[in-house]
Amino acid sequence: MKRLFKATAVSPANIAFIKYWGKKDPLLNIPFNNSISMNLSNCLTTTTVEFNSNLSDDLISVDEKEISDSKKDRVTGLLDLVRKRSGIDLKAKVVSRNNFPQRAGIASSASGFSALALSASNALGLNLTKKELSILARRGSGSACRSMIDGYCEWKTGDGDNSSYAAQMAKPDYWHLADVVAITNKEEKKIGSTEGHELAATSPYFRRRLTRLPQKIKRIKEAFFAKDFLAFGKLLEEEAVDLHLMAMSSTPPVFYWNQGTMEIIHAVQKWRKNGLPVYFTIDAGPNVHLICLRKDAEKVAKEAKKLESVSFTIINEPCQGTHLKDKHLF
């Protein structure tokens, strides 16, 4: 019987509490600093990969659209790593579907490249460990290395390809946090995070950020393990503002926020004053991630939906990391 080189994986996006911003090695996606994240149960990418001798080129579609140029090169780059490692040089058909809007500030590259790393390596019979999978996913997109892991994780910078990967910090049920994503703008953002990373070191505040981060990471971990939501939330917001301070003070400056972002930030401050414990964090886009305790998530989503600039919300909990699925997309 002909061997079928086919596999499907599903992967969550993740939200960083401590952000990855700036690359020490842009080719290998090695960051300047450690980062900490939680993965997102309702922001998922499913990817099926089939390597097939009938194909003369890689064929890649994301959300029913065939991709080309630099987007395709990025996917092909990761497939090449898998082909090289397995010694099987076949072209692949890749079909990938997101259940959330692409490139809207929810890291579709994180869920996309982690799902690709697991499905492609599995299709070619590589039986990689979590650590190896996290490293492989990182080569596609830095933050993808964190989506591999269940629940909460830390990505340690490391000092080279083999030591820069994410490892679990706590299981999904360690602390019942939620991330209510408030979507303000479904348009594709104009400047991707990859471009933002390149500019990071041009900010006059970048060195200062790196010097202060180890202490901030220590404090946020203490708050996390003590389940001290107020201390945790304060640090979370401080870090989100720090990321955008870097972006806005780069040369040239990058502005990821829109009016909606500002409206939500003000609302969060008001909700807190009124006794609803919720804090914001924002990645490289206009959408706002409202971090709260799981028991308050519906209330937070209800309040967010009342705002003029919020088109919809997605409630997420920490969940299982990237995993295989029996049912293929084609």
Residue 142 binds ligand DP6, judged by CB under 6 A: yes
Residue 203 binds ligand DP6, judged by CB under 6 A: no
Smaller CB separation from ligand DP6, 93 or 203: 203
Smaller CB separation from ligand DP6, 29 or 185: 29
Residue 36 binds ligand DP6, judged by CB under 6 A: no
Of 185, 274, 291, residue with least CA distance to 230: 291
- Alpha-carbon dihedral sign for residues 117, 123, 126, 130: positive
d(CA 141, CA 154): 16
Residue 193 binds ligand DP6, judged by CB under 6 A: yes
Binding ligand DP6 (rule: CB under 6 A), the pick from 7, 11, 20, 189 is 20
Which range touches ligand DP6 (CB under 6 A), out of 103-111, 125-133, 206-214, 305-313?
A: 103-111
Residue 93 binds ligand DP6, judged by CB under 6 A: no
Residue 107 binds ligand DP6, judged by CB under 6 A: yes
**Which residue shows structure tokens 């926020």?**
257
Binding ligand DP6 (rule: CB under 6 A), the pick from 194, 258, 269, 311 is 194
Alpha-helical regions (H) of the chain? 69-86, 108-123, 130-140, 144-147, 193-200, 206-225, 229-248, 259-273, 297-305
C-alpha dist (Å) from residue 218 to 23, 81, 152, 157, 205: 21, 35, 15, 15, 20
d(CA 222, CA 203): 29
Residue 261 binds ligand DP6, judged by CB under 6 A: no
Smaller CB separation from ligand DP6, 121 or 193: 193
d(CA 181, CA 302): 12
Residue 16 binds ligand DP6, judged by CB under 6 A: yes
Binding ligand DP6 (rule: CB under 6 A), the pick from 8, 11, 35, 185 is 35
C-alpha dist (Å) from residue 174 to 2, 131, 276, 277, 295: 45, 21, 22, 19, 15
Residue 33 binds ligand DP6, judged by CB under 6 A: no
Which range touches ligand DP6 (CB under 6 A), out of 61-69, 176-184, 190-198, 271-279?
A: 190-198
- Please name the residues in contact with 73: beta carbons below 8 A apart, sequence gap of 6 or more: none
Residue 283 binds ligand DP6, judged by CB under 6 A: yes
Residues facing residue 292 across a β-bridge: 178, 278
What is the token pair recorded at 184? 């303000």
What is the token pair recorded at 137? 């996913």
Binding ligand DP6 (rule: CB under 6 A), the pick from 118, 278, 284, 297 is 284
Of 319, 258, 291, residue with least CA distance to 43: 319
- Alpha-carbon dihedral sign for residues 83, 88, 94, 99: negative
Smaller CB separation from ligand DP6, 93 or 233: 233
Smaller CB separation from ligand DP6, 93 or 289: 289
Smaller CB separation from ligand DP6, 25 or 173: 25
Binding ligand DP6 (rule: CB under 6 A), the pick from 6, 83, 197, 221 is 197
Binding ligand DP6 (rule: CB under 6 A), the pick from 19, 93, 244, 289 is 19
Q: Which chain residues interact with ligand DP6 by CB under 6 A?
A: 16, 19-20, 29, 35, 107, 109-110, 141-143, 193-194, 197, 283-284
